[in-house]
Amino acid sequence: MIQKTPKIINYWEKVDLFEVEEPKKVAVSRLKRHPLNSDIYGVDEEVKDLANQIKMSGWIKPLMINLKGQILGGNRRREAVNLLISQGHLPEDQEVEVSIKKLSEDEEVQFLILDNASRHKTNLQMLREAQYLKMFHQSVTCKNRKTLTSSERSFLDYWEERKQTVKSQKKKKSVKVRDVLGSFMDVSGDQARKGLKVLWLIDLLTDLGRNQEIMEIVEALNKENITVAYKNTRSGKKRTLFNIDI
pLDDT by residue for the chain (246 residues), tens only, comes to 444 444 434 444 444 433 334 678 999 999 999 999 889 988 777 889 999 999 999 899 999 999 889 999 899 999 999 999 999 999 999 999 999 888 888 788 888 888 888 888 999 999 999 999 999 899 889 888 888 888 788 888 889 999 999 998 877 788 999 999 999 899 999 999 999 999 999 999 999 888 888 999 999 999 999 999 998 887 655 555 555 443
Q: Where are the domains positioned within the chain?
A: 11-103, 123-242
In three-state secondary structure terms, 200 is helix
Cα separation of 200 and 183, whole Å? 20
Strands 24-27 and 63-65: unpaired
The predicted pLDDT at position 129 comes to 93
Amino acid 20: pLDDT = 38
3-state secondary structure of 98: strand
